[in-house]
Each structure stands twice: as structure tokens, then as C-alpha cells.
Structure 1
Amino acid sequence: MTNDNSQSVAILGAGAWGTALANLAAANGHQVRVWSRWGEETLEAVLEDAQIILSAISMKGVRDVAAQVKSLPVSPETIFVTATKGLEPETTCTPSQIWQSAFPDNAVVVLSGPNLSKEIEMELPAATVVASNIFTAAQAVQLVFSSNRFRVYTNPDPVGVELGGTLKNVIAIAAGVCDGLQLGTNAKAGLVTRGLTEMVRIGNFWGAKTETFYGLSGLGDLLATCNSPLSRNYQVGYQLAAGKTLEEVLSHLQGTAEGVNTCRVLMQRARQQNIPVPITEQVDRLLQGKITPQQALDELMLRDIKPEYHFEDGN
């Protein structure tokens, strides 16, 4: 396919997600180069004249790769896109905050949504969100990846879009536990709904807009991850409920379950800021081996009864 508006796109990370995004851009006629730390090509060669640099590396590699990119010549016009979901343990920074601090003068766009890479590989229809403080940058990225099988929406709330994709991984672990214990549809509907409330509460503390969490990158991604055996985070919860240890589960998992690390970082931040996060707290205790899946459930069911909403303060 020829494309008169062809862009030069560099994808950092050759895992399932980076590869899926590379294929989408290439199918739209863009010039795509992919870098992997184990690949043949140097980072410098892949980044040469790149108009869009998309990072799809796992959370633990983000700061290191951002520093490597910073040591190379990058145009101030280049748009950075981050497609990583997670929080940095040492700083509690999100991936976009790391990229923006490394490149303060460049536009940074967050790409996140209900996007299980295996389904995108199979060319099944999907939708996602690209968010930035700079609307023209989000629009440019939207054009690169949009197709008749991948619908891309823009959003002006990058913090909310990024946190939606990050926080739902913790709730997905809880959903996996729920299914693993065979607790039924009612229990899971309750869990996922209260999980969304918890995501909104945390997001508001970090300056995210409530309505973003009811969109694709919040509720959409939450539904996909909490209901699919393809989700690594769901698998962690499901297998813990089957009696496996966390070490056993993670050693057999293909790829990274970012929710395990996110949960720990989130608890640290929630304690500092006094944010009530009952589901996250039980997932954290479960991951640390302090309680069994059944005990985690009992703790949530036996909490003080309360109103669903406090209308007077907008919650």
C-alpha cells in the first residue's frame, strides 16, 4: 500500500505488542523500523530521521532506553508515543513522565486501550485511544495507526488514559482470582464495578479526569483484561486461586504481568496520600503471600457497609 503521507516510525521493543503496532503502521504504508535490545540493528540506525518514536518496552526498561535515546540526535519535531503500562518502583513515575522528563521539548502521546496483542495479530477488530496535551500530536499518531480493523480515538487527558491502562492490571489479578475460585458472575460483576470506582479514585488524586475512566482506556481495557485468559494479569490471579505460588506462576508466564509490580508501587503511593484502595490492598497482600485468595475475598466482603456514592462531594 502506498501512502502519500508516509511517516517514518521507529518502534522500540519487539515483543508481541511492539510487533502488533509495527504491523498496523506498516499496513498503512508507513516506513517502520523495529529495535530490540537483542536485535541486529543499532538504536541509532533505527531512530535515524524518525518522525514518530513509539516505545513498547516493558516498564523496567523504560528509563534506561529513554537515556540511550537521549544520547542520540533526535529532532524537536519528533513525536514520542508510549505504549507501556506500569509504574516505576523507585519514583512511582508513569512511562510518559519518564519520556517527557528526558525530552521536555517534544510532544509525548500515550497509546492505551483494550488491546490484547494476540487478537490484533489475528486481525480481529479493536479500538484504542491516543492522548496528549498537544492535540496535533495525538492526531498525527491517530492517522498512523487507524485502519478498518483498528479504530483510534484521540483524548486530551494523557494522565487518565495512561493510568487506566496501568491500574486495571491490578483489578485483573483480582478478577482472575474470582474466576479461579469459581465465585460466579454476580461476584465478578461486583468486583469489576468496584474496581473501576477504585481506579477513578486513584486517578482523581493524580489529576486524571473521571470521564476518561469510563472510556476505552479505562472501562474498555478493564473489561478486556478481566475477562480474557489471554491476559497475563488475569492468569496470575487465576493460577494463584488454583494454589500455585507467585514464583511458580511468573516462571511459566510468557511476557511480563505488569500488575504485580504496579500493585506494590500503588500501595506505596496510596499509603503516602491516604487513598482508600481496598481491592488493591487485598491483591497486594495476596501477592506477598500474607493471605490466601479465600481470605482476600472474605476481607472485601466483610468491610463496613456504606453508600455506593457520596453525592455531596462528587464521588
Structure 2
Amino acid sequence: MNTENSTAKRVTVLGAGAWGTTLADMLARNGVPTTLWVRETDLAERMRAELVNDVFLPGVALSPALNVESDPATALRGADVYLLVVPSQFTRSTLAAFHDLFPQHPVIVCASKGIELDSLAPMSRVVAETLEDKAPRYASLSGPSFAAEVCRDMPTSVALGCADLDLARELRELFSTPFFRVYSTPDFRGVELGGAVKNVIALAAGMSDGLGFGHDARAALITRGLAEMSRLGAAMGAQERTFMGLSGMGDLVLTCTGDLSRNRQVGLKIGQGRKLDEIIGEMKAVAEGVKTAASLHALAKKLGVELPITEQVHRILYEDVEPRAAVTELMSRALKDE
């Protein structure tokens, strides 16, 4: 838990969606000097005046101690830790735009979940490439956590991946609260890959439920989705045991079964016969799995890794394959040992 010593660390949170706002508010309530950068100037003004994010986290009162800024230079100045919570496809452009505002050796904690579409890079590589001359120190924060529950102090446990063990311990203390428990691991690659892949499997689980296929099918998707996650992780140098933990199996179960999951909800509506463009057009927040399905599909081809569920999700989203036909193809694949 935070102590008086740990509260000396100043945190700037980049990204004021539901998750970024929740994490910033959690830190501020726990005595950590925290600034939240909000891209929209009008939203920042309302947040300062009303202490609520009425767009992405309506109805949740924010801590008066939370500093809200729309000016990047002001927001980034003097921070010890930068918590990155912008959508993964905008991570590179955001870091590039703010490049000169970062100090040397900045501590970057990434809570965004995805694989960059153009480069097929995980967020750790995006950060390393964009801030290469700054020599960033990197960590990934991921695990089974819905903003709507964390912001209401419901008990939550997550994983923090960081290769620097001393830094990992510092960050673990900084982010932990009486209701938010952080476990650390040196396998940052496994943590970030689990957070990316689970969103695609959640789309599949939602589609299955939307088709009315029941609990058996959902359980199979979760289990075989974990196998896909582990295969990809092994090919990219992650540790297999990481995927048995909070950022792997834990987040996968939550996102595939919880109705608060945006990705599950998108899949559910597709399974019920609605079109992707129409669904996305109604959403304020980003369902990361939609873009990640495309990047994961391409990454699997590049690495020669078999991801059959991901492949069928990609076909449904981008090749107009009917969900029922995709499930039939999955079920009719050649039989093999588990």
C-alpha cells in the first residue's frame, strides 16, 4: 500500500477515457499527487468545475485532489511516472507529439491493451521506438479490471510487468490501494500480450452468446483462447506461466463473461445480426479488440503461429463471413490432441 514515502512520486495520466479517469482518481484518492491529461478542452473544464467525467465515467464523483489539465506541457511537467491510457492505435502518435515534454529516462507505465496495426508492434516496442533517445523505463499494467467496478472501490487485483525488479517494486507500492492489489512480474511482454489477445477472444465469446450457443461453447472459447494467447506469447518471448495469471486467464475470463466488457458487447451484437459499423458508431469508448483482431491476424501470419479463433473473428469483422458459418468452420477443423 502507499506510504508517505511513495506519495512523493508524482503521476501524470495520459488519456481520460473511463479507465484512465478511474486510475487517475484512484491514485489521487490514495494520496498520490496526480494530474490527468484530458485531450478535449471543454471536457477538462467541466471536470474541473463539476468533478465528474460526464462523457466516459458519468455519475462517478472524482477526487477534489485530482488535477485536470488539457495543456500537455502543464500536464507532463514535473511528473515521476507517466501512466499511458490512450487507445493503443494512438499510442505512437501521442508519444511522438509529446516527445520533447518527456525528461530523460521517463518511467512509462502502459495500461493500454492492443497491438499496433501498422507495425504489428506491442506497446512496449512502440514506447521504445518513439522515445528511444529518452531511454524510457517501461512497465505494463493489466488484469481483470472494469473501470465501473474499480471506481467504486470493488476489490480488484492486477499484474504489473516490469523487467527492472526494483522499479517494479516501487510501482507496485505506488499503484496498490486497500481495494486495488498489484502483483509484479518481470515478464512485461506476457502481461501486455495477455491484455491484447483477450479482447479478441472476448469478441468471439460475445458472438457465441449472441448466437445462443450457451455456456459450453463459451467455456471452450475461453480455454482455447488461452491456448492461442500462450502460443503467441511463446513465439514472442513471453513466459507461459504469465498467461495462467491475472493478466492472462484472469482478464480473459472477466472479459469473456462480464457484461461490462465493451468487446464482449460488440461481439454479442454481431452474433445477434447487427453490423460492425453500426455498433461502433453508437459507442463513445473504444473496443480495442476490433483493431487488435486485424493486427493479431497479421502478426500470427508473420510469425507462423496458428490462432484459429482469432482468424475466424477477423473473417467475421473484415471479410463479411457470417458468425454461424465461422463457428461451423472452427468445429470442423481436423481433430488433434489437446
- With the length of structure 1 as denominator, give the TM-score of the two structures: 0.94
What is the CA–CA distance in structure 2 between the aligned matches of 1:240 and 1:221, rounded to whole Å?
Answer: 22
Q: Which runs of no fewer than 5 residues in structure 1 stay unpaired?
A: 309-315
**Deviation string for 1:258-298 (max 9, x for gaps)?**
11111111111211222111111110111124311111110
Q: Which residue number corresponds to residue 4 of structure 2?
A: 3
Q: Are 1:127 and 2:127 matched, yes or no?
A: no
What is the CA–CA distance in structure 2 between the aligned matches of 1:249 and 1:167, rounded to whole Å?
Answer: 21
Q: Which residue number corresponds to residue 37 of structure 2?
A: 35
Q: Which residue number corresponds to residue 86 of structure 1?
A: 114
What is the CA–CA distance in structure 1 between the aligned matches of 2:128 and 2:189, rounded to whole Å?
Answer: 12
Contact kept in structure 2, 1:3 and 1:28, CA below 8 Å: no
What is the CA–CA distance in structure 1 between the aligned matches of 2:102 and 2:208, rounded to whole Å?
Answer: 49
Q: Which residue number corresponds to residue 208 of structure 1?
A: 238
Please identify, of 63-72 and 230-239, the stretch whose mean Cα deviation from structure 2 is larger: 63-72
Q: Are 1:74 and 2:76 matched, yes or no?
A: no
Kindly state the Cα deviation for residue 4 of structure 1 after the two structures are TM-superposed: 3.9
Q: Which residue number corresponds to residue 26 of structure 1?
A: 28
Whichever residue aligns with residue 326 of structure 2, its letter is A
How do 1:92-241 residues align onto structure 2 when only pairs under 5 Å count? 92-104=120-132, 105-241=135-271
Please identify, of 270-279 and 206-215, the stretch whose mean Cα deviation from structure 2 is larger: 270-279
Contact kept in structure 2, 1:178 and 1:188, CA below 8 Å: yes
Kindly state the Cα deviation for residue 41 of structure 1 after the two structures are TM-superposed: 3.3
Contact kept in structure 1, 2:187 and 2:239, CA below 8 Å: yes
Q: Which runs of no fewer than 5 residues in structure 2 stay unpaired?
A: 42-68
Kindly state the Cα deviation for residue 73 of structure 1 after the two structures are TM-superposed: 4.7
Q: Give the length in aligned residue pairs.
A: 307
Kindly state the Cα deviation for residue 201 of structure 1 after the two structures are TM-superposed: 0.6
Provide the identity percentage: 39
What is the CA–CA distance in structure 2 between the aligned matches of 1:224 and 1:253, rounded to whole Å?
Answer: 20
- With the length of structure 2 as denominator, give the TM-score of the two structures: 0.88
The 1:163–1:73 alpha-carbon spacing in structure 2 relative to 1, beyond 3 Å, is: closer
Q: Which residue number corresponds to residue 51 of structure 1?
A: 80
Contact kept in structure 2, 1:232 and 1:253, CA below 8 Å: no
What is the CA–CA distance in structure 2 between the aligned matches of 1:23 and 1:114, rounded to whole Å?
Answer: 18
Kindly state the Cα deviation for residue 5 of structure 1 after the two structures are TM-superposed: 3.0
